[in-house]
């Protein structure tokens, strides 16, 4: 998803795309969990850091939920891209037919 979404767009800048933010957040969480394997995770507003139980919940519930969300977003994107491509082909075909009809009228 990211490679397609991060490309230059006429609709929004990459930093305005909430789904790219979700994807980069997932990567950051995974990276932090790998780097801090076995160590508690500090939170800015909690005195007690995330311990083994909270980290396990992140790994077993939160990360898979984000991954499922991103997979569903990718499915939606693919469907919309296919519809967009079909519409472009239909418009191109209509233009060709109109041009062919115009040529017949001019002949």
Q: What is the mean pLDDT of residues 77-81?
A: 96
Instruction: Write out pLDDT tens, residues 13-34.
Output: 877 889 999 999 999 999 999 9
Tokens representing residue 54 in the block:
């909270």
Structure confidence by residue, pLDDT tens digits, 32-68 = 999 998 899 999 999 999 999 999 999 999 999 999 9
Tokens read off for 3: 């490679």
The Cα 21–Cα 38 span in angstroms is 27
Q: What pTM did the predictor assign?
A: 0.72
Over 70: is that where the pLDDT of 4 sits? no
Those residues whose C-beta lies under 8 Å from the C-beta of residue 19, and which sit 6 or more positions away, are 1, 5, 70, 73
DSSP collapsed to 3 states, 32-57: HHHHCCCCCECCCCCCCCECHHHHHH
The residue that leads in pLDDT, 9 or 41, is 41
pLDDT at 2 over 70: no
């Amino acid at each position: 998803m990211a490679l397609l979404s991060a490309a230059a767009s006429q609709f929004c800048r990459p930093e305005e795309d909430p789904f790219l933010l979700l994807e980069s957040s997932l990567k950051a969480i995974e990276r932090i969990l790998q780097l801090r394997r076995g160590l508690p995770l500090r939170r800015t507003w909690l005195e007690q850091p995330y311990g083994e139980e909270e980290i396990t919940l992140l790994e077993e519930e939160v990360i898979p939920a984000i991954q499922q969300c991103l997979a569903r977003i990718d499915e939606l994107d693919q469907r919309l891209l296919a519809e967009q491509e079909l519409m472009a082909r239909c418009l191109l075909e209509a233009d060709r037919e109109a041009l062919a009809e115009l040529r017949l009228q001019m002949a």
